[in-house]
């Protein structure tokens, strides 16, 4: 459809123009800093930053219902820059010209209702947001699209001439950063730091395939993060972890997409997200807060953050009921099937603390909760979800296990409707499924397979007949015998009765 085909009230707003008054805002001392620099922490007090539009309230000039129409009609435009997170341009990066937008197909991932049987098992209406359907097969792509579009803009405007993008990763961030950097080649190159032996082979193959320099370090993610911070403080590199506030801004599209998928009716909605480096829960809260402030949604959804008991610093913090007595302490992580969230010192923790407060205040009641689940629960619920026709990774399993735990604790009621983040494609983490099926988990995971969820391929061999493996081609009576006897053997194992004699 062409812009002129749209309703008159929508037309002037359909294709956004650059606007706003963007600054980096320090969460520690409230200082603001020039947006056209690469900045990750406050030069005055070293705290983390968020990006703020000082002219945000101009959005109130458009009533909530009209905003909804604008976003809904924008969906049918055939403009690549508006197909991803910049469909919500005014809220994601209002000062960015559309020519700078990098869109590789991210965002707008499907929200799929769980099968009736699975919903019955869990006891409430629930949906999975399949973030594995992003281009690098994880939720990181929204934030990368935002950060790399910004870098592209700085390159196009001559503020930067070339960029080396660096990140620390448990596997998803590195895949995403390497992909977007490769797209902007030759002016952008990338280097990723991974904890040796702690990313899956599929995840390792991603940055290698995109041509990143891949460094493996003897340690965990938190150690890699420290090295990357050292690099970004002392060398001319761009940090692409969610410490980079542009990453958070892009990830806020996750909330906008959910709002849109539920026709902006967010009453009774619960959003469940796993917590690792805590960038995602930060973005989810900030996104919903912004839409609520402008009147695009009518209620702030409940947010349940989930952590494995092998890496639960955020849960430990909120475990103390008295906010005045809460103290954050990093933890030493243990190996986890939610490997992407094996993080003991999340860089976004100060953002989480600040935004959860703001969120609860805006809602007039507590709306942000964090629950802890076991490795066993994560695996059992991942496999249960997939047995019911979903494609959840271990972190999607963690979301489902978190929802079940939150229900047991009375945080989620029968009337609530939940959207669960399946953060990555399940194929990235199929090694954990394999370990479960083969009962091969090292003891420290504490995972024992439920026989009802175990599966394995069966080799079909019929004694005394020739098989295609014996000869180059099987033909004539030998082929007929092979096909018939093999079919009979499979039918026998499946308990099928022959319908034709």
Ligand X SMILES: N[C@@H](CCOP(=O)(O)O)C(=O)O
Please report, as ranges, the residues that interact with ligand X according to CB under 6 A.
Answer: 167, 169-173, 221, 241-242, 276-277, 279, 340, 347
What strands, in cross-sheet order, belong to the sheet with 32-34? 32-34, 22-26, 49-53
Gap between the Cα atoms of 297 and 332, Å rounded:
39
Pick the closest to residue 217 from 275, 168, 147, 281 (CA basis).
Answer: 168
Which residue lies nearer to ligand X by CB, 208 or 479?
208
Q: Which is nearer to ligand X, 221 or 256 (CB)?
A: 221
Q: Look up residue 18 and give its two tokens.
A: 């650059």
Q: How far is the CB of 255 from ligand X (least distance, A)?
A: 16
Q: How far is the CB of 24 from ligand X (least distance, A)?
A: 17
Residue 251 vs 266, nearer CB to ligand X: 251
Q: Which is nearer to ligand X, 164 or 299 (CB)?
A: 164
Nearest approach, Cβ of 182 to ligand X (angstroms)?
17
The residue among 172 and 421 lying less far from ligand X, judged by its C-beta, is 172
Closest to ligand X by CB, 141 vs 416, is: 141
Q: Minimum distance from CB of 224 to ligand X (Å)?
A: 9
Cα angle for residues 9, 13, 17 (degrees, 5° grid): 160
Query: Which residue in the block uniquely carries the two structure tokens 């983390």?
Result: 48
The torsion angles phi and psi of 191, rounded to 5 degrees, stand at -135, 135
Contacts of 412 (CB under 8 A, 6+ apart): 124, 270, 302, 304, 403, 406, 418
Burial class (CB in 10 A: 0-12, 13-18, 19+), 304: buried
What's the min distance (Å) between Cβ of 192 and ligand X? 9
Q: In a 3-state reduction of DSSP, which class is residue 324?
A: helix
Closest CB to ligand X among 169 and 190? 169
Q: How far is the CB of 341 from ligand X (least distance, A)?
A: 6
| 3-state SS record for 335-368 | CCCCHHHCCCCCCCHHHHHHHHHHHHHHHCCCCE
Between 241 and 266, name the residue whose CB sits nearer to ligand X.
241
Minimum Å distance from CB 355 to ligand X? 16
Query: Least CB distance from residue 275 to ligand X, whole Å?
Result: 10
Nearest CB to ligand X, comparing residues 170 and 266: 170
Alpha-carbon dihedral sign for residues 167, 170, 88, 52: negative
The C-alpha atoms of residue 471 and residue 477 are separated, in whole angstroms, by: 14
Continuous segment of H or E residues that includes residue 86: none
Q: How far is the CB of 273 from ligand X (least distance, A)?
A: 12
Sign of torsion, CA 197 198 202 208?
negative
Of 337, 246, 252, the residue nearest 293 (C-alpha): 252
CA atoms within 13 A on the CB side of 341: 38
């Amino acid at each position: 459809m062409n812009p002129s085909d749209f309703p008159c009230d929508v037309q002037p707003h359909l294709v956004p123009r650059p606007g706003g008054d963007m600054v980096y805002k320090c969460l520690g001392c409230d200082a603001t800093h020039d947006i056209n620099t690469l900045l990750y922490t406050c030069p005055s007090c070293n705290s983390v930053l968020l990006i703020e539009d000082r002219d945000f309230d101009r959005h109130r000039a458009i009533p909530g219902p009209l905003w909804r129409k604008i976003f809904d009609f924008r969906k049918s435009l055939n403009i690549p820059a508006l197909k991803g997170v910049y469909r919500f341009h005014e809220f994601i990066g209002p000062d960015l010209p559309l020519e700078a937008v990098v869109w590789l197909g991210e965002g707008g991932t499907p929200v799929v209702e769980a099968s009736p049987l699975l919903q019955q098992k869990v006891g409430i209406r629930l949906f999975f947001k399949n973030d594995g359907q992003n281009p690098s097969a994880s939720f990181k792509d929204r934030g990368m699209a935002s950060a790399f579009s910004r870098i592209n803009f700085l390159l196009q405007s001559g503020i930067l001439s070339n960029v080396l993008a660096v990140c620390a990763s448990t596997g998803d961030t590195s895949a995403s950063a390497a992909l977007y950097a490769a797209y902007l080649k030759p002016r952008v190159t990338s280097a990723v730091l991974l904890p040796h032996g702690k990313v899956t082979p599929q995840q390792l193959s991603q940055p290698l395939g995109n041509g990143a320099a891949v460094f493996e370090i003897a340690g965990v993610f938190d150690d890699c993060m420290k090295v990357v911070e050292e690099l970004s403080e002392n060398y001319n590199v761009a940090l692409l972890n969610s410490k980079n506030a542009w990453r958070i801004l892009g990830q806020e599209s996750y909330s906008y997409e959910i709002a849109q998928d539920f026709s902006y009716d967010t009453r009774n909605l619960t959003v469940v997200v796993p917590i690792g480096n805590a960038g995602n829960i930060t973005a989810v809260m900030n996104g919903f807060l912004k839409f609520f402030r402008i009147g695009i949604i009518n209620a702030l959804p409940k947010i349940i953050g989930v952590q494995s008991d092998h890496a639960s610093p955020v849960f430990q913090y909120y475990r103390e009921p008295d906010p005045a007595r809460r103290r954050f302490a990093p933890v030493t992580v243990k190996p986890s099937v939610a490997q992407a969230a094996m993080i003991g010192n999340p860089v976004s923790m100060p953002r989480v603390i600040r935004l959860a407060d703001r969120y609860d205040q805006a809602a007039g009641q507590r709306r942000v909760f964090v629950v802890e689940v076991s490795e066993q629960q994560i695996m059992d619920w991942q496999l249960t979800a997939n047995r019911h026709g979903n494609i959840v990774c271990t972190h999607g399993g963690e979301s489902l296990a978190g929802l079940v735990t939150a229900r047991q604790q009375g945080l989620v009621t029968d009337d609530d409707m939940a959207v669960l983040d399946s953060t990555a494609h399940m194929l990235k983490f199929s090694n954990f499924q394999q370990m479960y099926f083969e009962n091969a988990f090292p003891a420290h995971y504490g995972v024992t397979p439920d026989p009802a969820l175990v599966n394995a391929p069966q080799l079909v061999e019929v004694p005394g007949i020739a098989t295609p493996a014996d000869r180059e081609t099987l033909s004539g009576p030998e082929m007929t015998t092979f096909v018939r006897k093999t079919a009979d053997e499979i039918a026998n194992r499946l308990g099928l009765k022959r319908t034709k004699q």
